[in-house]
Amino acid sequence: MTPRVLVFDVNETLLDVDSLAPQFERIFGDAAVLRTWFSQLVLYSMTLTLASRYIDFFRLGSAVLAMLGDIHGVRISHRQQEELREAMRWMPPHPDVTTGLQRLSDYGFRLVTLTNSPHLANAPTAVHNAGLDRYFERQFTVDAAGVFKPASELYRGVAAELDVAEADCLMVAAHAWDTIGAQSAGMQGALIRRPGHAALVAEGLPQPTLTVRDVNELASQLAN
């Protein structure tokens, strides 16, 4: 079924998380700690949801940074935590994103975002700071619900807010856990294979409706 609405994840899918690497190089002397931090950030976001707890994604990111500092024997200052939070709000888009979103918009698709990151009061979103907000009808955050993806209520809530059926929505994400969550809630799923990402293939798990290299390839696939 051709979707009417494309629901984009933000972190890693649209915005380049690797842009944060210099922060980790300065703190730990090893930029590769970024990947450990991001994986732990996702792990503990899911942990909080399962445990019926919630703090926003930026605060959780700071806490995970401090935890890794404790593990590595590195003192993390309040200033370093604040600098990381701010850097999370200013990540640049991947090179394919702007042209891909323009093509999808030209094709007539409704475009929205759904992110784990909070929308801070009186401050532009990360999507806005990346110059992408003009492509999106709505920007949804999990912060209002107080749970993190892939909780089913988040995907269903987006469809309800847009007054469309879940089956008319395509969740676009670089993470298999996000597409699995969306498809389990009734949406379709498109996996963008950013470096280090692939589908999780096992009997009983929904497989992506589409698997593509980037947003431009997604536009080409949906145009056919």
The secondary structure of the chain, three-state, reads CCCCEEEECCECCCECHHHHHHHHHHHHCCCCHHHHHHHHHHHHHHHHHHCCCCCCHHHHHHHHHHHHHHHHCCCCCHHHHHHHHHHHCCCCECCCHHHHHHHHHHCCCEEEEEECCCCCCCCCCHHHHCCCHHHCCEEEEHHHCCCCCCCHHHHHHHHHHHCCCHHHEEEEECCHHHHHHHHHCCCEEEEECCCCCCCCCCCCCCCCCEEECCHHHHHHHHHC
pLDDT (tens, 9 = 90+) of the chain, 224 residues, equals: 799 999 999 999 999 999 999 999 999 999 999 999 999 999 999 999 999 999 999 999 999 999 999 999 999 999 999 999 999 999 999 999 999 999 999 999 999 999 999 998 889 999 999 999 999 999 999 998 999 999 999 999 999 999 999 999 999 999 999 999 999 999 999 999 999 999 999 999 999 999 999 999 999 999 97
pTM over 0.75: yes
For residue 43, the model assigns a pLDDT of: 98
